[in-house]
Chains A and B, each alone.
Chain A
């Protein structure tokens, strides 16, 4: 629920910094982490394919919001991992999980008037944990901070 650019930049930072320590992390792996950071926001499919349009077609209500929970996000990671050959699976899984987890970690801090956030652990739990309310998805500064951090990480990894 932070903007997607912030999520993608944070995943870039984490994966790039990790690649300083772990040499197997290639630019392609960094991209896997960035793609992983996009997974929870697949719930935005609702803007393209509204669930109320799907319901008459399949006969039962559906909700894309399941993407924005641990259960839905993990299944997408699993599907992604199964789409690469065996020798790449561990690396892609680690990176996609890193990006996906960082997305949820950031979204748990987003301001909500109820003071609580979303059921991140669903379907394990439907509890909406409290949020410290650090920022809104429409704030500009998170992407600016993440952008500076990304430039710093890039410099440390490739130029220093």
Chain B
């Protein structure tokens, strides 16, 4: 016997997954367009720098020399180094994003920049990983996979917000905050 709702659900799931893959492919074809405030980035410059000479560009990378300032940018085609003209005050190891004009010979004339210390980036990634682990732990504690229904369902004590027992709710959620 065909289980109609289940078949429909899997069909929709496949459609959504295919559409998502389609967006991954489509987004990769989007070209910079200054009219829409979308400037060439590190990947674009790394691909063919000379095609972008004279363009306003938006590039991020690591400072590898400070006098003169040199920005090292990892991109899809490898790694490039750009000498910064009119740079902000920078030290080696800092992460810098610049809004700049591309000049011949890998020179970027900086219009505006954001400078981040190496440890600040590490903080950002560290705290973000902790957040992901927190949500994963909450999910594992509050949801389970129901093989009969082929889906994720809340575990009983996590779903009963209407039970009206404020104490038990407090315990259920309060415990999470330690984890």
Q: Which residues of A contact B (CB under 8 A)?
A: 3-5, 7-9, 19, 23-31, 34-35, 38, 41, 44, 50-52, 60-66, 69, 71-72, 75-76, 78-79, 82-86, 88, 111-116, 119, 122-123, 125-130, 136-138, 140, 143, 154, 157-159
Report the bound CA distance from A65 to B24 in whole Å. Answer: 7
Number of A-B contacts (CB under 8 A): 186
Cross-chain contact A31 with B139 (CB below 8 angstroms)? yes
With A31-B138, A66-B24 in contact, do A119 and B124 touch (Cβ < 8 Å)? no
Cross-chain contact A126 with B13 (CB below 8 angstroms)? no
Cross-chain contact A52 with B76 (CB below 8 angstroms)? yes
- B99 interface residue per 8 A CB criterion: yes
CB neighbours of A129 from chain B (8 A): 37
CB neighbours of A3 from chain B (8 A): 123-124, 127-128, 131
Report the bound CA distance from A69 to B24 in whole Å. Answer: 11
Of the residues A38, A66, A127, A159, contact of B27 by C-beta under 8 Å: A66
Report the bound CA distance from A23 to B169 in whole Å. Answer: 12
* Interface residues of B, count at CB 8 A: 69
CB neighbours of B129 from chain A (8 A): 4
Residues 149-178 (chain B) with a chain A CB within 8 angstroms: 149, 151-155, 158-162, 166, 169-170, 172-174, 176-177
Cross-chain contact A79 with B123 (CB below 8 angstroms)? no
- B29 interface residue per 8 A CB criterion: yes
Q: Which residues of B contact A (CB under 8 A)?
A: 5, 9, 12-13, 16-17, 19-20, 23-30, 33, 36-39, 56, 58, 76-77, 97-99, 111-114, 116, 120-121, 123-124, 127-132, 134-135, 138-139, 142-143, 146, 149, 151-155, 158-162, 166, 169-170, 172-174, 176-177
With A23-B162, A61-B28, A114-B58 in contact, do A158 and B113 touch (Cβ < 8 Å)? no
CB neighbours of B170 from chain A (8 A): 158-159
Pull 5 A–B residue pairs with CB atoms less than 8 Å apart, ordered by A: A3-B123, A8-B131, A75-B20, A79-B13, A128-B36
